[in-house]
A and B are shown apart, each in its own frame.
Chain A
Amino acid sequence: MSVLVYTESEQGKFKKAAFEVASYGKAVADAMGVSVTAVAVNANDTSELGKYGVDKILNVKSGDLEKFNAKAYAGVIEQAAKQEGASVVIISSSADSKYLAPILAVGLEAGYASNVVEAPSSTSPFTVKRTAFTNKAFNMTTIDTDVKIVGVSKNAFGLVESNGNAASEDFSPSIPASGVVVDSVDKATDKVTIADAEIVVSGGRGLKGPENWGMIEELADVLGAATACSKPVSDLGWRPHSEHVGQTGKPVASNLYIAVGISGAIQHLAGINSSKVKVVINTDPEAPFFKAADYGVVGDAFEVVPTLIEKLKAFKAQNA
C-alpha cells in the first residue's frame, strides 16, 4: 500500500506543484502509516523529490509522452497506481492534471475530489475540505471508494520539507493510444502564466483603454508577475480572453494579487479570493474591492502605478 503522487514537470524540470503534491502526499501517507511513491514523466533529475517526503520514484521516459496527452498520461498513472496498490492518488490543480483526473477516476473506479485546500481531516472516513461555489464557500467531502483521488489546490498546502531519500526506478507502462492528436502548440515561453505565477497584476475598466496597459506590463515585469484582467476588459477586446480572471474566467491562487482599476464585483472576487495577499488601487474609496483586500490605495492608477514601478525598481536594486 502507498500514496501515489503525480509529480508534473515541464521540459524536464519539476513544477512547484510537483513539490506541493509530494508534500501533501507525505502528510496523507504519515496519517495512514504508508509510504509515498511518485510517478514522474520525462523528468531530467528526480533527486529533489526526496526532500519533500517521497520514498520511491517511478521514472517514466518515453518519446510518446513528449507532448501532454490526457488519456495517455491518465493511463500511465493508472498503471502506476495499480502496480503500487495505491489507495490514494494525489494530483495538482494544473490545467493538465484537471484534464486527466476524470479519465483516471473512471480507470481506477476511484472517487475524485478536486480543489482540495487542506490535508484530510480524517483518513477513515477519508474526509477533505474543498472549495465550492467558485470559492464562495467550502465543502467537507468524504471519498467513499477504495481508491481515492485528491486534486490539491495551488498554494493551499504549501511546501513541507522532510529528510527523505527517494529511490528511483524505471517504469515502462504501456501507453494507451489516444484519439486526440496535438497538431500545434502556441505558447509564449518567455511569459509567466497566471496558473504558475506567484504574483499577478490585474487591470480593469478603470484603465480606460488598451493603450494604457504598458504600465501594467511594466509593473508585472518588475515583479516577475503574470498579467490578468477583469471580464469586461477582455470582452471589449482590450486584452486577450486568456487573461480574463474571475468566476467565469481563470481562477487565481497566487501569493500576491494586485488589482488596478477593478471595482471588485462578486464574480471577480470569487475567482481571485484564494490569492493570499490582495492589493487594490482604485480612485473610489467605496469600491467593493476595498472590503476584500488586505492593502488598498485610494488613488489614480495613472499616478500610483508609475510611482510604484519606480519605487519597486529601487527596492529590487537595493535587495538584489
Chain B
Amino acid sequence: MKILVCISHVPDTTSKINFAENDTKFDTNGVQFVINPNDEFGLTRAMWFKEKQGANVTVVNVGGAETEPTLRKALAIGADAAIRVNTEAKDGMQVAKELAKVVQDGGYDLVIAGRESIDYNGGMVPGMLAAITGANFVTNCISLEIDGSNATAMREIDGGKETVSTSLPLVIGGQKGLVEESDLRIPNMRGIMMARQKPLNVVEPTNVAADTSAVKFEKPAPKGAVTLVDADNIDELINLLHNEAKAI
C-alpha cells in the first residue's frame, strides 16, 4: 500500500497571532511552527499501517522552503520520503489542486490528511482533494482499518459517531482518535539521524490559480473587564445572566 500523509505546517498552539505589512500578512516573527496536530494523529496511524501491514509512507507539504524542518520532523518520526511542492498557496483549493497532481503522479492508494488545520482552519483541502481525484472521502475520521482494497472507518458526527465502509483509493480527514494521544510518536535521536538520509524531493507547482484571497487580517476587539460575582451571592449571577446578558 502506498500512503500519502498531508502535512500542514502551522504556528504552535501557544502562538500569539500578529500581523505585518499593514495587516495583510501573518507575522511569523518569533513564531514556532509545528506539524498540524490533526496530521500528527494521521502520521502515527500511517506508521502503524507501515509496521503492521506493510506500507510505504510519503509525507507532502505545499509550501515554501521554510516548511522543510517540519517535513524532516515527519521523516524522523518514520515516513520514508517527503515531497515539498514549492509554492505558497493562497487558498485550500490551490493546495488541493497541487496535491492532486502529487497523488496522480505517485499513484497513492490512501491519502491521510487532517480534518482541519489550526491556522486557517478551513477544513477544505481533504474533501477538495478527494473530489478532484475521484477518491472516496471520509472526514472527522476517528478510526481506520484497511483490508486489501476495502476500508472501514469510524467518524465523529454531531452527538455521536458512525461506522462506514468504503474502498481505496481513499482520502481521510483525520483527527484525535485515529490513534491515542499517548501513542503519538516523537522523533528520537536515531530517527533524526536517519531522516537526514531520506529523500526530500522539491517539485515545482502547476501554478493553478486560487479561488479566494485573504485581503486583510483583524484581531478581535479587546475584551471588557469581567464582572465578578461573590460566591455567596449566586442569585446575583442568575439575575445578571437573565436580565443583563439575556442568556438564560
Say if the beta carbon of B65 comes within 8 Å of chain A: no
The answer to whether A101 touches B177 (Cβ under 8 A) is no
The answer to whether B13 touches A247 (Cβ under 8 A) is yes
Say if the beta carbon of A99 comes within 8 Å of chain B: yes
In the complex, what's the smallest C-beta–C-beta distance from A316 to chain B, in angstroms? 9
The answer to whether A244 touches B176 (Cβ under 8 A) is yes
In the complex, what's the smallest C-beta–C-beta distance from B77 to chain A, in angstroms? 18
Give Cα A319 to B34, complex, Å.
51
The answer to whether B238 touches A140 (Cβ under 8 A) is no
The answer to whether B163 touches A299 (Cβ under 8 A) is no
In the complex, what's the smallest C-beta–C-beta distance from B46 to chain A, in angstroms? 19
Say if the beta carbon of B219 comes within 8 Å of chain A: yes
Say if the beta carbon of B147 comes within 8 Å of chain A: no
Say if the beta carbon of A173 comes within 8 Å of chain B: no
Give Cα A293 to B238, complex, Å.
16
Say if the beta carbon of A202 comes within 8 Å of chain B: no
The answer to whether B164 touches A308 (Cβ under 8 A) is no
Bin the interface of chain B by size. 35 or more
B18 (CB) vs chain A CBs: closest residue: A137
Q: Which of A105, A141, A247, A303 contacts B118 (CB 8 A)?
A: A247
In the complex, what's the smallest C-beta–C-beta distance from B121 to chain A, in angstroms? 5
Given A138-B218, A299-B231, A186 contacting B162 (CB threshold 8 A) = yes
Which B residues lie within 8 Å of A280 (CB)? 226
Which A residues lie within 8 Å of B128 (CB)? 102-103, 105-106
B154 (CB) vs chain A CBs: closest residue: A186
Q: Mark B192-222, 1 if CB is under 8 A from A, else 0.
A: 0000000000000000001111111111100
Q: Mark A113-145, 1 if CB is under 8 A from B, else 0.
A: 111000000000001010111111111111111
Q: Which of B93, B139, B234 contacts A307 (CB 8 A)?
A: B234
Say if the beta carbon of A196 comes within 8 Å of chain B: yes
Given A193-B158, A241-B176, A293 contacting B226 (CB threshold 8 A) = yes
The 6 closest A-B pairs by CB, nearest first: A102-B127, A111-B211, A299-B231, A187-B160, A106-B131, A193-B159
